[in-house]
Amino acid sequence: MRYLAAFAILASLVLPPKSATANVLSPADHESFHNLDLKMLPIGDDLYALVTNRPGTHAPDCLIELAFKFDAVQANLHTIGTLVGLAADMTDNADELRVIHSLSLAAWGFLEQLKYHRLILNSIVSNCAEDQAVAKSQEISRTWSDASSLVQSIVKKIGVISGAATLAQQFGTAAEAKAMLAKTVSALKADKAKTLDEINKGEGGFFDRDLYPFCFNLSDGKNIAVAGPNSKQVLGTDVRTIKDPAGKVFGPELYAAAQKPEGEITEVNYMWPRPGSDKTPVAKVSFVTKVGDLGCGVGYYK
């Protein structure tokens, strides 16, 4: 029963090698959870003994419930400690942010549940005639206070970075933009007409958050496909005439990038609004390449 939640996480995650960079959380944070876990173990063992060491009699329900509540809190705390250890040892920042996001949810959930566990603990003790159970409840209350303080300290550490992780998940990255460009090239070579239609409709995985492809003819520079709803106004126009809201005429750079040999990718920088209601221009970098008789690109926002 104990640590079941932690085992579920450990079954799907493997600790990577120790990071050489400074992470948000440290091995010392993980050690704090380990030390508290060691402090709670003998209390759990004592409760187990009180429940089982009763030859010929059945343990009172209040004692059994007390043991179950303590075990549940310890298991959840162990899960949080496991996530802290994973975050402290992550070598990739994106992976660290994902773990921290999960940790933030688990930590807040733990703190909220602990409030109810405390109420239940008080109710159990007030209705239990077992002197030993009452004595153990005081130890339990103290360790739960330690657990609450420890988890709150972690929440304070990860609060800002967790918010950044959530924000980061809303927007595409440079790597994801390159991956979408590769997908676009492959799809166009397999079925050009279908792919251009899907791009214009924003279907087929060609519109993901703020990532989307655009394509233009190399013969006349005409924009023939774009998935971004804030970019539909360029359809049918000559890519070489496009300028950003800041006045930079960057279209010729897009066209020139597509004149290079197929497989070669060029970065073009300009300002452009993200998809959505906010039309504020944001710095954008598009990866542009030649695909047969087309020039195509996918950009990400900085």
Taking only the tens place, the pLDDT of each residue in 249-263 is 999 999 999 999 999
Per-residue pLDDT at 79: 93
Cα-atom radius of gyration of the chain, to the nearest Å?
A: 29
Domain residues of the chain, as ranges?
4-169, 174-301
Domain spanning 174-301, CATH class: alpha beta
With b meaning 16 or more CB within 10 Å and e meaning fewer, what string describes 191-207?
eeeebbebbbebeeebb
Q: How far apart are CA 81 and CA 91, in angstroms?
A: 18
Query: What is the dihedral sign for C-alpha 66, 71, 76, 80?
Result: positive
Mean pLDDT across 278-302: 94
Q: How confident is the model at residue 16 (pLDDT cuts 50, 70, 90)?
A: very low
pTM metric for this prediction: 0.49
For the chain, counts of helices (H) and of strands (E)? 8, 5
pLDDT bracket for residue 22 (50, 70, 90): low
In what helix (H) or strand (E) does residue 289 lie, and over which residues does it extend? Answer: strand 281-291
pLDDT of 218 > 60? The answer is yes
Per-residue pLDDT reduced to its tens digit, 37-83? 999 999 999 888 888 887 667 778 888 888 888 999 999 999 999 99
Q: Cα(140)–Cα(121) distance, rounded to whole angstroms?
A: 9
Encode pLDDT of 73-122 as tens digits.
Answer: 999 999 999 999 998 998 777 778 888 888 888 898 899 888 888 888 88
**Tally of CB atoms within 10 A around 115:** 10
Among residues 76, 111, 84, 106, the alpha carbon closest in space to that of 6 is found at: 76
What's the pLDDT score for residue 118? 86
Half-sphere exposure (Cβ direction) of 104: Cα atoms closer than 13 Å = 18
